[in-house]
A and B are shown apart, each in its own frame.
Chain A
Amino acid sequence: MITAQNTFRPIGRSFLNFLRDVGGSTIMLLGVFRRLKELPRTHRQTLLQMEAIGIGSMPLVFVTALFVGAVAAVQAAYQFQDYVPMVFLGTVVGKSVILELGPVLTALVVGGRVSASIAAELGTMKVTEQIDAMEILAIDPQRYLVMPRIVACVVMLPVLTIFADVLAIFGGMFVANVAIGVNTPTFVEGLRMFFYVDDVISGILKAATFGGIIGLMGCYNGFRTFGGARGVGRSTMHAVVTSCICILIADYFLASVLFRVIFYRGTT
């Protein structure tokens, strides 16, 4: 029988779960900030995570970036036909890659790979009682497991984004040259015409924030795992979904704030 209670109960439960996740992940993040002074003690784990997250993600990011740049050039050239001079092709590709496509697409592809991997690893440790074993040995899992992963993500996402930006622009330049008929000097001229360092900084700030989101969602979902292999699968999926959604939401707010800051600087 359909009653008001049956209809609203799942909505209410989902809302409560959402509040629990927001609260839980905020507490975890505050815990990481509190432990930051102990980072030197976990430098080995942090470096290992930076290698796994950063170096390990490079092939995926490079391929994505090359083709994103190429697609951006093709799309822009199609839009420009007969209306906008092709000298602006480099401008559009550069701006869109540095401000938006580079940070966001890098975060989305790395988020899928890294948050899933963190959640699966920590989730397996949770269900096999390895995290309990760590606590019994008087070792703080937040310091030993969570902090190195989040710090590694915050540091490595901007690095990956810079590589992605460069490769995407090369991808766009290559396609412009080969398929669209815009030679390299023309493309570079357009690229330099409206190039601002503030744009690059804003992209890096976004990437660092997205890195924090990826690490946090992976760790939070991993630590909340229960129920064996099925639970690990569920946590992994939640980690990917929540990190992607949070990246897109954060992108909107960051873009609003950063554009205002850049625009303000540019007009004064």
Chain B
Amino acid sequence: MITVECRDVWKAFYGKSVLRGVNLVIRPGETLVIIGQSGSGKSVLLKHIVGLLSPDRGSVLVDGVDVGKLSHKKLFELRMRFGMVFQSAALFDSLTVEENVGFGFREHTTMSDEEISRVCTEKLRMVGLDGVGDKYPAELSGGMKKRVGFARAIAMNPQCVLYDEPTTGLDPIMADVINNLIIKLADELQITSVVVTHDLASAYKVGDHIAMLHDGVVIFEGTPSDVRQTDNAIVRQFIEGRAQGPIVVGSGE
């Protein structure tokens, strides 16, 4: 299992600050949910954890190792310990479902095609998909694409899975299916999970801890019940979904 620590992480794009000193610790085996408005920097923070982005200032430590200072080779070795589920699923659209799930195996192992196919079928079953291996992503519904993304993320048995808006764009029932899947994978695979979302039902259901990102900093951290009971005006406005309050609509964009 993996420990992730963000220390005073700053990031700006084209002169606009997105992260302004984020401090956050993700403990081994826990499911941490990061909530916040659209554009508050949640996905940007997630990409820093796996070195897809480098902080302008500060550091991201994975098991005590500074991700920003890793060589190209070491960074790829570190990424082998992670899986990521993207908001848009990010499936390779020129490959079939099975080729998507088995992509890592083909590149990193000497497994035979039969073995890869067997593991892919097993991983697809874990996410409730059967008999779709030879379909292309364009032939799948949004929920199915997300689940194929899950299967691909867990295919290489990672120690930590990052979920970027896993329930966005899904109907409430499919969103609940995805939530149950996140809980099931965390329990069965004993992995550390980081979920970025603005779906509060999802956050309460899957999170051991919830952190709220606002204006580029973590303004609140606690258990789901702490979030429900907090007096923090910004968190209250967000969880109650009110347009009036300290958060000015559009400030996060």
Task: Report whether B80 and A138 are in contact in the complex, using a CB–CB cutoff of 8 Å.
Answer: yes
The complex places the Cα of A188 from the Cα of B201 at a distance, in Å, of 81
Tell me whether A130 and B80 are in contact in the complex, defined as CB-CB below 8 angstroms, given that A135-B52, A137-B104, A139-B107 are known contacts.
no
* In the bound complex, CA of A259 to CA of B78 (Å): 52
Whether A130 contacts B92 in the complex (CB less than 8 A), given A136-B82, A139-B104, comes out as: yes
Q: Is B253 part of the binding interface, using a Cβ–Cβ cutoff of 8 Å? A: no
Residues of chain A within 8 A (CB-CB) of B103 are 137, 139
Chain B residues, Cβ within 8 Å of A132:
47, 52, 84, 86, 90
A133 and B84 within 8 A (CB): yes
Report yes or no: B107 in contact with A129, Cβ–Cβ below 8 A.
Answer: no
In angstroms, how far is the closest chain A Cβ from the Cβ of B46?
10
Q: How many Cβ-Cβ contacts under 8 Å join chain A to chain B?
A: 52
Contact between chains at B86 and A140 (CB < 8 Å): no
Q: Is B134 an interface residue (CB 8 A)?
A: no
| From B76, B86, B108, B156, contact of A133 by CB (8 A) | B86
Indicate whether A128 reaches chain B with its CB closer than 8 angstroms: yes
What distance in Å separates the Cβ of B164 from its nearest Cβ neighbour in chain A?
9
With a cutoff of 8 Å between Cβ atoms, the chain A residues found around residue B79 in the complex are 135-138
Q: Which of A85-133 contact B (CB under 8 A)?
A: 125, 128-130, 132-133
Q: For B76, what are the chain A residues with a Cβ–Cβ distance below 8 Å? A: 138, 140
The interface bits of chain B over 72-86 (1 if a CB of A lies within 8 angstroms of the residue's CB, else 0) are 100011011011101
Contact A138 B108 (CB under 8 A): yes
A133 touches B90 (CB 8 A): yes
Report chain B residues within 8 Å CB of A138: 76-77, 79-80, 104, 107-108
Interface of B is mostly: mixed
Q: Which of B80, B86, B156 contacts A129 (CB 8 A)?
A: B86
Measured in the bound complex, the distance between the Cα atoms of B235 and A89 in whole Å is 83
- Contact indicator A136/B83 (Cβ below 8 Å): yes
User: Which of A133, A135, A136, A140 touches B92 (beta carbons < 8 Å)?
Assistant: A133
B50 touches A136 (CB 8 A): yes
- The 8 Å CB contact of B93, one of A130, A135, A137, A140, is A130
B237 within 8 A of A: no
Give the interface centre of A125, A134, A137, A140 by most chain B CB atoms within 10 Å.
A137
How many residues from A make CB contacts under 8 Å with B?
14
Chain A 61-88: CB-based contact to B (< 8 A → 1; otherwise 0):
0000000000000000000000000000
Which of A129, A133, A135, A136 counts the most B-chain CB atoms under 10 A from its CB? A136
Interface 0/1 of B82-125, CB less than 8 Å to A:
11101110111100000000011001100000000000000000
Interchain CA distance A136-B152 in the complex, whole Å: 11
A129–B93 Cα distance when bound, in Å, is 11
Question: Among A129, A135, A144, which residue has its beta carbon within 8 angstroms of that of B88?
Answer: A129
| Given known A-B contacts A137-B104, A137-B107, A128 and B88 have beta carbons under 8 A apart | yes
The CA-CA distance from A139 to B105 in the complex, in Å, is 11
CB contact list, B54-72 vs A, under 8 A:
72
Chain B nearest CB from A226 CB (Å) reads 10
A130 to B91, CA, bound (A): 6
A125 to B91, CA, bound (A): 9
What is the minimal beta-carbon distance from A104 to any residue of chain B, in angstroms?
32
Q: How far is the CA of A184 from the CA of B73 in the complex (A)?
A: 62
Of chain A, the residue at the smallest CB distance from B84 is: A136
Q: How far, in whole Å, are A134 and B91 apart by their CA atoms in the complex?
A: 10
| Residues of A participating in the B interface, judged by any CB pair closer than 8 Å | 125, 128-130, 132-140, 144
Q: List 22 A-B contacts (CB under 8 A).
A: A128-B90, A129-B88, A129-B90, A130-B90, A132-B90, A133-B86, A133-B90, A133-B91, A133-B92, A136-B50, A136-B52, A136-B82, A136-B84, A137-B79, A137-B104, A137-B107, A137-B156, A138-B76, A138-B80, A139-B103, A139-B107, A140-B72
Interface residues of B (CB under 8 A from A): 47, 50, 52, 72, 76-77, 79-80, 82-84, 86-88, 90-93, 103-104, 107-108, 152, 156
Beyond the given pairs A133-B84, A133-B91, A139-B104, 14 more chain A to chain B contacts, judged by CB atoms under 8 angstroms and listed by A's residue number, are A128-B88, A129-B87, A129-B90, A130-B91, A132-B52, A133-B92, A134-B92, A136-B50, A136-B52, A137-B79, A137-B107, A138-B76, A138-B108, A140-B72
Q: Sorted from nearest, which 7 A-B pairs have the closest CB atoms? A: A129-B90, A133-B90, A138-B76, A138-B79, A136-B84, A137-B104, A138-B80
